[in-house]
Chain A
Amino acid sequence: MADSHLQAVKGAKVLMVGAGGIGCELLKTLALSGFEDIHVIDMDTIEVSNLNRQFLFRQSHVGQSKAKVARDAVLKFKPHINIKPYHANVKSPEFNVEFFKQFSVVLNGLDNLDARRHVNRLCLAAQVPLVESGTTGYLGQVTVHVKGKTECYECQPKPTPKSYPVCTITSTPSKFVHCVVWAKDLLFAKLFGDKSQDNDLNIRPSDDGNTSKNPEDVFERSSDENAEKYGRRIHDHVFGYNIELALANDETWKNRKKPRPIYIKDVLPDKSLQRNGHLENCTSEDMPISTMPTLGLKNPQDIWSLVENAEVFLESLRLFIEKRDKDIGNLIFDKDDQLAVEFVTAAANIRASSFGIPLHSLFEAKGIAGNIVHAVATTNAIIAGLIVIEAIKILQCDFHNCRMSYCLEHPSRKMLLMPVEPFEANKSCYVCSEQILLLEINTWTTKLRDFVEKIVRNKLGMNLPIVMHGANLIYEDGDDIEEDIATNYTRNLDKVLAELPSQVTNGTVLTVEDLQQELTCNINIKHREEFDEEKHPDGMVLSGWSGHLNDNKVASNRENDISSAPSAAADAENPDGPDVVPKNLILGAREKYQRWKNLPTPQKIRPRNRTRRIRKILIKLMTATAATTMTMT
């Protein structure tokens, strides 16, 4: 190693965000490469399913802080360096712009879009270079973001998690994933989650109002009702009664196959469930509470019969009530919660059966419900190596040699690792340029709450937002707001835009700001009456920063010789999970590729048309990778 190289590395203070799949590999490679001052932030604790690739962790560490255990493990082979762990969320206010300013470079090994965008903004505000990364299966990528020299992480719009129209989930599922979303986000949430949350589980009986019983009461267990009886009643309500109710609406089924109501007495005629009687063995300390051993179900790859699904449904419900009573009321679905996965698998399968949709195994249902990313150690190791190589170039101020790198499953032009020159900043990026956004919205029906949640938080990725209309504050989030003002904001949240104290109507310009991220956006409001529910389930359309994907164009220009690359992503379906995900794999098909400004011309590594071709491969590849995540809006 050259001396200048060594000096740059030794003198550097680096921040790693994420100590998971990429993070473990990265911390190891940084330490071996001579880095001596490394700070690590990770809010997660260690899970069993991490151990196949997060090699700094052992079985005995399950439940402990990733950042702390990773530090201790690395100090065993590199004892004299400084590693500072933070068991915390990178979005918490302590990690402000001042905090970020102390670092020479920030290295991301994150698993979600939200945190990635947040870190991007802090790096821009603190003027610290960022190396961003992601992997899924054999695919991975590393990108470099330096303010004033390259695009920022958000210069290209990112695919937001796929959402399904509510009616598809509640009434007309056609794919297994619809049934999983129903089981997880509606039924599971209704039975075990926060009761105060809105929930579309019950089909509102048509407005004839002859319901003798408030539908909400159906899910309450009466004091004289045992768990089994309760389970049978819930089963019949959601898989029987609700389906009958839906069938009553002829319009819905004109062009669709009708579902079949399923009643528990037809599936499991016996009054009580047959159990093997090994229950005591299965609830010991080290085994998670599960229905599978008692029901004699061994292989999570097997597809259960309808009878087995009904048994798992009743049994898991019973175990929740009898063994995990104190969890009920505040459970959130967790893919590492065995009993929750069993319940959701069974419920999704019974619903799928009702709608004539093929059933799936617990393994598959778990992958869909948990948005599990396919992850292997090798890709993470490769990507971590590339991150360190780029970080060292940045530390040596060797910016013109920085590259974005893509790790492919199938070679393209003989390459499995493909370097590409970084793109220059998108002038219409609302994050790193001052671009005014346009929001089409129905100002007479949309509440401020929807605007804040769906646009300001979800789409714009703000953490502690302030919403202003001219000099008037409409809404603000934070801990230090006085009580009467907070009440006022809460009142505003429930008003539609056009009825706010300072009316928001067609032509209004709203300013939204996040002081932590030091980001301000102006949004032009355009009133619009109608939205297509399939295309815009939120009932809002935000636009204004360019660089949209043009699928037709990509497809029609596809090169024969690169056709193998896109299939690389064929089995990567669920890109938002425990590991790092290439959300930023989407690159815009920008018409003009310009060289970086303010820099000496980089060494020409390929003719321009080749760059364009490579970009097309990437777009195609990445569109496939960033397929779907299952969140309902």
Chain B
Amino acid sequence: MDGEELTAQQTALYDRQIRVWGVDAQKRLSKANVLVSGLNGTVAEFCKNIVLAGVGSLTLMDDRLVTENATHANFLITAEESKLSGRSLAEVYCNSLREFNPMVHVSVEKGDLHYFDGNFFDKFDIVIISGYSLKVKKLINSKCRERQKRIAFYTVECRGSCGEIFVDLQSYTYAQKKSDGTIECHMEYPSLEDAISIPWRDLPKKTTKTYFAMRVLEYFESWQYGKLCQTSDSDIPHVLESRKVLCDEQGLSESHLPDALLNRLVAAGAGEYPPVCAILGGFLGQEVIKAISGKGDPIKNFFYFDAADGKGIIEDISPPSK
């Protein structure tokens, strides 16, 4: 990328990371526009990473009001702010994030993302959502895919000690580093809807159990609450029932999905585990930087972390290419 050079201020501030991803990537970053909707501890971690990295702009959406409760796992909300009433999460996040890097334009957009029309999405290169129901996730994903320009779409969820990232880069070309230079690579991503509609019987035996567990919870929540992450221990019998329905329908043995894992996810409810937020927010930040710079192998298309075994696993859940 030619054109403007980085300023002396940028060069000094970004010195260490330019040594990782190069000047071109830094220039691209400084022109990229990122939208996040649904703010929580994991998204806070992501926002911190991307603002520090020097993205062009970050737009925050979440009209929920700040409560003292929200400070439990959040470094973007200071003790004083949590006492002030009437301010939205997005506004409070915005104030804190601006301080992290004065060179990044951080702003707030009010409203519900799924009511915005397609033109709104054209302002962004990256859209990230968290805490939405499956239905809304699919809807926003398809709005991104309908636009002429390529808009990278991500979802991220933390359920206690487990976390999931979904990535849709649509049709994506990037530079892959080899020992003797770089080669151009191409990847086709399925939408969220297409990915999760692959019958479980067709997936490799080694697919992580967390993938199935997340779908069971999604299924349960979509008819129980219409929202993510609201479960409690009393829901366990219904969740186990959901497991049976899905496993029968999709052709997977129920024994493949242990009670212990589901119990753990249900008990976590809406609770985030801060170390897992840091890990998910870290990987999501890296993925977004890769997608913007077009450098480095991106995750295709699910990522899982489970603090119980410490593994961070990539799963490629895509329909067979035609």
- Residues of chain A touching chain B, judged by Cβ–Cβ distance below 8 Å, are 1, 25, 28-29, 31-33, 48-49, 51-53, 55, 58-59, 74, 76-79, 137-138, 298-301, 363, 367, 372-382, 384-386, 388-389, 403, 405, 407, 409-411, 414-419, 567, 570-571, 578-579, 605
Contacts and interface: CB of A to CB of B under 8 A. Distances in A.
Given A25-B278, A53-B52, A372 B19 contact: yes
B251 interface: no
**What 4 A-B pairs are tightest by C-beta distance, nearest first?**
A417-B312, A419-B310, A385-B278, A382-B282
Contacts of A49: 12-13, 15-16
Contacts of A32: 41, 73-75, 274, 277
A578 B285 CA distance: 22
A216 B253 CA distance: 83
Nearest to A76: B78
B240 to A, nearest CB: 21
B56 interface: no
7 contacts: A77-B75, A363-B15, A374-B20, A378-B49, A378-B289, A382-B283, A578-B16
B195 to A, nearest CB: 16
**Which of A378, A385, A386 counts the most B-chain CB atoms under 10 A from its CB?**
A378
B279 A417 contact: yes
Nearest to A27: B75
Contact of B275 (A33, A373, A409): A33
B310 A384 contact: no
A405 B275 CA distance: 14
Interface residues of B, number: 63
A570 B14 CA distance: 21
B5 A298 contact: yes
Interface string B242-254: 0000000000000
A419 B19 contact: no
Contact of A77 (B14, B18, B77, B283): B77
Nearest to B285: A378
Interface string B10-26: 01111111111101000
Nearest to A136: B20
Contact of B310 (A55, A367, A405): A405
B322 interface: no
A384 B278 contact: yes
Nearest to B76: A77
B311 A419 contact: yes
Contacts of B102: 59
A239 B303 CA distance: 56
A359 B296 CA distance: 28
A298 B178 CA distance: 32
A567 B183 CA distance: 14
B312 A416 contact: yes
B24 to A, nearest CB: 11
Given A29-B278, A77-B75, A298-B5, A53 B271 contact: no
B313 interface: yes
A381 B100 CA distance: 15
A605 B313 CA distance: 15
A220 B260 CA distance: 77
Q: Determine chain B's interface SS by DSSP, over half rule.
A: helix
B263 interface: no
Contacts of B11: 300, 363
A49 to B, nearest CB: 5
Given A382-B279, A386-B279, A377 B285 contact: yes
Given A52-B16, A378-B286, A417 B275 contact: no
Q: Determine chain A's interface SS by DSSP, over half rule.
A: mixed
B71 interface: yes
A172 to B, nearest CB: 29
A372 B16 contact: yes
A378 B310 contact: no
B47 to A, nearest CB: 11
A591 to B, nearest CB: 26
A375 B53 CA distance: 11
A410 B286 CA distance: 12
A311 to B, nearest CB: 19
A374 B19 contact: yes
A52 B314 contact: no
Contacts of B187: none
A579 B75 contact: no
Nearest to B274: A32
A5 to B, nearest CB: 10
B303 A389 contact: no
Given A52-B54, A367-B19, A416-B303, A385 B75 contact: no
Contact of A579 (B16, B23, B273, B281): B16
A385 B282 contact: yes
Contact of B282 (A373, A374, A381): A381
A381 B276 CA distance: 10
Nearest to B53: A377
Contacts of A138: 20, 286, 296
Contacts of A375: 16-17, 19-20
B62 to A, nearest CB: 18
A405 B21 CA distance: 24
A363 B52 CA distance: 20
Nearest to A392: B275
Contacts of B14: 52
Contact of A419 (B15, B20, B286, B309): B309
B77 A416 contact: no
B99 interface: yes
Contacts of A59: 102
A300 B13 CA distance: 13
Contacts of A419: 309-311
B122 interface: no
B45 interface: yes
A373 B279 contact: no
B282 A415 contact: no
B305 interface: yes
Contacts of B283: 378, 382, 416
Contacts of A570: 177, 179
Contacts of A298: 5, 8
A418 B17 contact: no
A301 B23 contact: yes
B79 interface: yes
A389 B160 CA distance: 13
Contacts of A31: 75
B261 interface: no
A298 B10 CA distance: 13
A76 B82 CA distance: 11
Contact of A567 (B13, B179, B281, B303): B179
B16 A373 contact: yes
Given A51-B13, A372-B19, A409-B296, A377 B313 contact: no
B145 interface: no
